[in-house]
């Protein structure tokens, strides 16, 4: 019997729900399914930007590092393959500040995706 099956059976015997938590949406919070591992905090703003020039992981890291320094930014996920950068922040960000940060990293902000 696998550990997961054993835990499932123990949870069922104790009267616990056998289904993954509905709050997380899946068994892993989505991390292994290409979703963000941590959902955005309530009241936060998620904005997707289109950035040109990113070609690799180093590019993703450079853009993410610059945007992470903006006030109120909680998380940044850059994907070179699509050119999309997802930013979770406490409030909407000033687009010129985002543009300046992306420029500082050496790339160009096209606008919101």
pLDDT tens sequence across 58-88: 999 999 999 999 999 999 999 999 999 999 9
What's the pLDDT tens digit per position in 4-54?
333 333 333 344 434 333 333 433 333 333 444 445 677 899 999 999 999
* Residue range(s) defining the domain that contains residue 64: 40-113
pLDDT value at residue 11: 39
pTM (two decimals):
0.65
Residues 10 and 61 in one domain: no
Residues 10 and 49 in one domain: no
Token reading at 36: 């963000």
Residues 65 and 33 in one domain: no
Residue 79 three-state SS: strand
Per the structure, how many domains does the chain have? 2
């Amino acid at each position: 019997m696998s550990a997961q099956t054993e835990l499932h059976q123990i949870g069922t015997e104790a009267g616990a729900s056998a289904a993954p938590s509905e709050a997380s949406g899946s068994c892993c919070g989505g991390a292994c399914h290409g979703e963000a591992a941590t959902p955005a905090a309530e009241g936060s703003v998620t904005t997707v930007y289109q950035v040109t020039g990113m070609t690799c992981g180093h590019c993703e890291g450079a853009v993410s590092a610059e945007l992470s320094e903006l006030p109120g930014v909680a998380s940044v996920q850059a994907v070179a393959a699509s050119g999309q950068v997802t930013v979770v922040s406490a409030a909407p960000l000033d687009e010129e500040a985002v543009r300046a940060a992306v420029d500082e990293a050496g790339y160009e902000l096209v606008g919101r995706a």
